[in-house]
Chain A
Amino acid sequence: MDFNDTPAEAAFRAEAQSWLAAHAPAHELPTGIKLADTEEAARGRAWMRELYNGGWSGLTFPKALGGRGLSGIEAVIFAEEEGKYHLPKGPFTSIGTGMALPVIAKHGNDAQRAQFIEPTLKGDITWCQLFSEPSAGSDLAALRTKAVRADDGSGDWIVNGQKVWSSWAHLTDWGILVVRTDPTVPKHKGLTFFVVDMKTPGIETRPIRQISGMSEFNETFLTDVRIPDANRLGAIGEGWACCMTVLMGERLGSGAHRSGVEPLLALAGKTPAGDGSTMLDDKAVRLALADALAEEQGERFFQARLRTMVSKGENPGAMAGMIKLAYAGRQQKVLGLGMELRGLDAIAADPSDSVTPDLQYDYIYSTVMRIAGGADEVLRNQIAERVLGMPGEVRMDKDVPFEQLK
């Protein structure tokens, strides 16, 4: 066990640091103001372009496909260093790099790889995910959006249905889409995977008014959307395998995230307790923050252990879900605590206070973390079943043709 960089890792870190010092500051986001989503997405593209020009995109992606073919450890080092800057990174670019690229690389053909990989790494193509539906969330394979062959002999597919929770669908170029192509077989077997140009006629995105007041998620309606067969990834009926590739990427995460607890320590230190001391001197606050910080550190080292497993060719499987489960639950807890320690100011902050509004927003948003990308309950099932070897859930619909389900 050695938590220090090897000489090669230290050299890589120094290289990353010096490049970032020269290029990252110009891309940093302002603090305290929320940018318009169009502006945020544009800045995200610009940072992708900068990374690409500097040779820092697709770090773990195979060289033959336009990446750098580096190890997971190097990607972690870069993410740690990149994380020191407040950069425009978010779903508008990470859905492309973290979901679309792995599935195209694994299930796509050469033409598809040539068409999409490099432009995505450059930020020229951004992606949204058209998976969930109003009645298919955690039970994704229950989805109802259907595709049938056009009757004109073109081989094209005609898609009808509705997707939901498609982050940034209104501002991205392409979507990864899973649809039902055969309702006569059990639900997992009748799915097929496509990439779809979001400018195709028949696609309408409607923003969802969220509890945060923002609308980065959408409902996406697909009405007689024509998709060429050339945009099908993998074989007909193999959509579920493609989805698994995407979702594994979602669970492994980016490797390094900012501490959620450290800012609260600073905030507590700036919040008066009324007797000349600050909330950072409050024993109950100290206990709660220390617990959260200890857990956060454990999570960081656990992630490092998982990455070591991957680098040795072992598959951490459902253990990766443990990180997300721990992280999401803790975020909600500490953000709630952060509001509490501000006192009533947490509810209606003084206009000069730029910190509390972020806290309010993050507290609202923390609910998303516990639901999206594997809800707490789904992850607990997976850990129990795949790590502890406990029995699977009772599934009434497993062997029943989809069209016979209620």
Chain B
Amino acid sequence: MDFDLSDEQKMLAEQARGLLAERTPYDHLRKLIDSGAEWDEPLWRELGEMGFLGANIPEAFGGLGMSELDLGVISQELGRVNAAVPFFSSIVLAADAIRLAGSEAQKAQWLPKLASGEVVACFASAEGAGPVLGQGARLAGGKLSGTKQPVADAGIASVAVVQVGDGLALVQLDQPGVTRTKLDSFDQLRSHYRIDFDGAEAEALPGKDALPTLLDRAAVQAAFEAVGGSEACLAMGRNYVMERQMFGRPLGGYQAIKHKLADVAVAIELAKSNAYFAGWAAEASADDLPGAAAAARLTAIKAFELAARENLQVHGGIGYTFEANCHFYYRRERLLAVIVGNRGYWANRLLNAQSGSQEKAA
């Protein structure tokens, strides 16, 4: 047993953290929002050049063939800086869907381009308010019809992986049967779209039953991203209260503040520990993945929720201004909270995994 990241993984984290700290200061995020930018394209190109985008894509398809845990390390760093890149859409969801359910030809066609960042893919599943997997889209005779919304990063994607019932389909977006309409996005650093498919050319991904595993694996990455965001919130809140003077001493000297941040720190460590185990299980222990992913997801969202809210709270009024940096995380956290299924879905996934493992033991 060894419950720590390897030296290589720690180096990978440092490398990613160094690059991202330099490229995405908060003023840069503010400029992206003010200019109405769809994304941080130069950063995406750089991430591609560094190999981060292809980290877990097999070498045969142009990636680095690293593990889910390695990818988690990268997700954590992207979460820490709130990067405005379609990593979750294109790599964590779309590329992984193709990897899990695609034919060899589909993999060969798309994975190398996704790994390099040359092509961006989005993942379309929800159909408005309600569950993350909508049930209205139809695929028949190679033609897709229906409406998916909201779909993150659809404005910059050239291809979509679309969930249809319990299957998946590939659709190129630049064709007459596809209409993309930009929505107002609560997360101002990730654009969201409505996509209407009206008999669009589509090809099914032939793999069966890939969706639950796809969501499990994506939940692990979302957990890592949330842990990174939580750590950033804790550091920001802690640094602020150490400087801010109140009644003649630092605000951070009061127990009401110390205890709040101590609770945030505990929530983060529990979430991180679950994320580590889930990242390991994704690769090494398929039976453990559903329960591990669910536990990681539940604790990571809980940690990020607490961290994002309390960070803004300890900032007081300044935290409500656009010039302060709390809001980036306060918004991103809500996106992560709903991105691959709600609390109820993951609570059920965890309890079902638990009763499954109890039956096996008995």
- Interface on A for B, CB 8 Å cutoff? 1-6, 9, 73, 76, 262, 265, 280, 283, 286-287, 289-291, 293-295, 297-302, 304-305, 307-309, 312, 319, 322, 325-326, 377, 379-381, 383-385, 387-391, 393-394
19 contacts between A and B (CB under 8 A): A1-B3, A1-B4, A1-B6, A1-B69, A3-B285, A6-B1, A289-B351, A291-B347, A301-B274, A301-B276, A305-B273, A322-B265, A326-B266, A377-B255, A381-B262, A383-B266, A385-B258, A388-B262, A389-B238
B residues with CB within 8 A of A: 1-6, 9, 69, 234, 238, 241-242, 249-250, 252-253, 255, 257-259, 261-263, 265-266, 269-274, 276-277, 279-281, 284-285, 291-292, 294-296, 298-299, 302, 343-344, 346-348, 350-351, 354-355, 358
Query: Within the complex, what minimum Cβ distance (angstroms) separates B352 from chain A?
Result: 10
Contact A388 B265, beta carbon cutoff 8 Å: yes
Cβ contacts under 8 Å, B265 to chain A: 322, 383-384, 387-388
Tell me whether chain B's interface is mostly helix, strand or loop, or mixed. helix
Q: Is the CB of A298 within 8 A of B255?
A: no
Q: In the complex, what residue of chain A is closest to B2 when comparing beta carbons?
A: A2
Contact of A4 among B69, B266, B284, B299 (CB under 8 A): B284
Residue pair B280, A2 in contact (C-beta under 8 Å): yes
Question: Is there an interface contact between B1 and A9, defined as CB atoms closer than 8 Å?
Answer: yes
With both beta carbons as reference points, the residue of chain A lying nearest to B271 in the complex is identified as A298
Bound CA–CA A89/B295 (angstroms): 30
**Residues of chain A with a CB closer than 8 A to B347's CB:** 286-287, 289-291
**CA–CA, A265 and B273, complex, Å:** 23
- Contact of B258 with A384 in the complex, beta carbons under 8 Å: yes
A394 to B248, CA, bound (A): 13
Q: A391 touching B252 by the CB < 8 A rule? A: yes
Please report the C-alpha to C-alpha distance between residue A262 and residue B291 in the assembled complex, in whole angstroms: 14
The 8 closest A-B pairs by CB, nearest first: A298-B270, A290-B347, A384-B258, A301-B273, A391-B253, A294-B298, A302-B273, A383-B262
Q: Which residue of B lies closest to A261 (CB)?
A: B354
B250/A305 in contact, CB under 8 A: no
Chain A residues, Cβ within 8 Å of B257: 390
Contact B350 A294 (CB under 8 A): yes
Interchain CB contact under 8 A, A283 and B271? no
Contact of B1 among A4, A309, A383, A394 (CB under 8 A): A4
Provide the bound-state CA to CA distance between A380 and B346, in Å. Answer: 29
A325's closest neighbor in chain B, by CB? Answer: B266
Whole-angstrom CA separation of A284 from B254 in the bound complex: 35
Closest to A314 in B: B4
Within the complex, the shortest CB–CB distance from B91 to chain A, in Å, comes to 21
Please determine whether A3 and B3 come into contact, CB atoms closer than 8 angstroms: yes
With A319-B269, A381-B258, A388-B262 given, is the CB distance from A290 to B350 under 8 Å? yes
Q: Is the CB of B295 within 8 A of A3?
A: no
B299 and A298 within 8 A (CB): yes
- Would B266 and A294 count as touching, CB distance under 8 A? no
A1 vs B298: C-alpha distance in the bound complex, in angstroms? Answer: 22
With A1-B4, A387-B265 known, 13 other A-B pairs at CB within 8 A are A5-B1, A73-B1, A286-B351, A290-B298, A290-B346, A294-B295, A302-B270, A307-B3, A380-B259, A384-B265, A385-B258, A390-B242, A390-B257
